[in-house]
Amino acid sequence: DGPAPADGPAPADSGKPTDGGQPPAADSATDGAPPARDASSDGVVTYGQAYSGGQFHLGPVDWDETQWHNACAPPTKYAPAVRAAEGTLLAGLWNGIPNVAGYCDACILVTTAKGKTALLRVVTYGATSNNSIDVSPQAYAILDSGEFPRAMTWKFAKCPDTGKIMYEFQTGSSEWWTSFWVRNARVPITKVEVKSQNHDFRSMTRGSDGTLTDASGFGKGPFTIRLTGLDGAQIVESFNWPAAGIAGQTLTGANFK
């Protein structure tokens, strides 16, 4: 089950499915120096520019994919452990955001024109108007004041502390082809590198479903994953090769502070 494009959400007003956009050329969500970081009025750490001019829509975005497949999920949907960690305040981004798949499982802070705010987890993306987002019913209930248009701005943000980072390996992974998702990271990820039996640290290739893939495989033995966050912070985590093999395994490690 190698990486494949996945459909993102459609805005509630569109009445049609969407495509998943174009996969990023590499694993980096952004290039160059880390963006400035700041804190909102409610203390949430945010990163970089504000995305304005869009609206929030009731997708709906949900774990059960009642209407739309989540573009950051495998065909079998998000795993129960990831759902439990990432919560029910969910969002889908506009697929015009550069390298949008690199923001799978990141968080955004949304502020409406009426002054309501919510910290949401990105689990999908698709076609909608510029900088608009689709949200889960739970998020919509927090943000909605009955207004129209539902104007808002959003910024990438630090997620709440809900436990460890999860490295969810695809069921087709092996020592010859190795691919995984990074779930529940507190900081948006800009680079994922792996040192393995086959090579020194090397950037993984980002797929349109958010997976990170080494097409030549890690080789059978210990490996080290290095994550770089949008704020420049890094996590380095080493693992032994699982006795039962890597396919379908979920490994856990330290999260960003």
pLDDT digits (tens, 9 = 90+) for 13-45: 332 222 333 333 334 333 444 454 554 446 899
**92 Cβ contact list (under 8 Å, min separation 6):** 8, 9, 59, 61, 68, 70, 71, 122, 123, 124, 125, 126, 128, 133, 134, 135
Report pLDDT digits (tens) over 211-234.
Answer: 999 999 999 999 999 999 999 999
**102: DSSP letter:** G
Cross-strand partners of 239: 223
Do the domains at 37-157 and 165-253 have one common CATH topology?
A: no
Which region among 8-17, 109-118, 149-158, 211-220 has the lowest average model confidence (pLDDT)?
8-17
Annotated domain spans of the chain: 37-157, 165-253
Q: Which of 180, 162, 182 is closest to 249 using CA atoms?
A: 180
In CATH, 37-157 is 3.40.30.10: no
Both structure tokens of 257: 């502070």
H/E run at residue 37: strand 37-39
Question: SS3 for 213-228, per residue?
Answer: EECCCCCCCCEEEEEE
Percent of the residues in the chain that have a pLDDT greater than 90, as a whole number: 83
CA 39 to chain centre: 21
**Residue 8 or 130, more confident:** 130
- Residue 170: the pLDDT is 99
pLDDT at 162 over 50: yes
φ and ψ at residue 143, rounded to 5 degrees: -85, -30
pLDDT at 148 over 90: yes
**Residue 27 or 78, more confident:** 78
- Helical segments of 52-118, H only: 80-86
- Residue 29: the pLDDT is 36
What fold is seen in the domain 165-253? Immunoglobulin-like (2.60.40)
**181 Cβ contact list (under 8 Å, min separation 6):** 72, 104, 105, 166, 167, 168, 170, 210, 211, 212
- Residue 153: the pLDDT is 99
φ and ψ at residue 214, rounded to 5 degrees: -110, 105
Mean pLDDT estimate for the chain: 88
- Residue 46: the pLDDT is 98
Both structure tokens of 239: 């693992």
Q: Please check whether residue 47 is in contact with residue 156, taking contact to mean a CB–CB distance below 8 angstroms.
A: yes
Mean pLDDT, to the nearest integer, of 224-249? 98
Cross-strand partners of 153: 111
**55: DSSP letter:** E
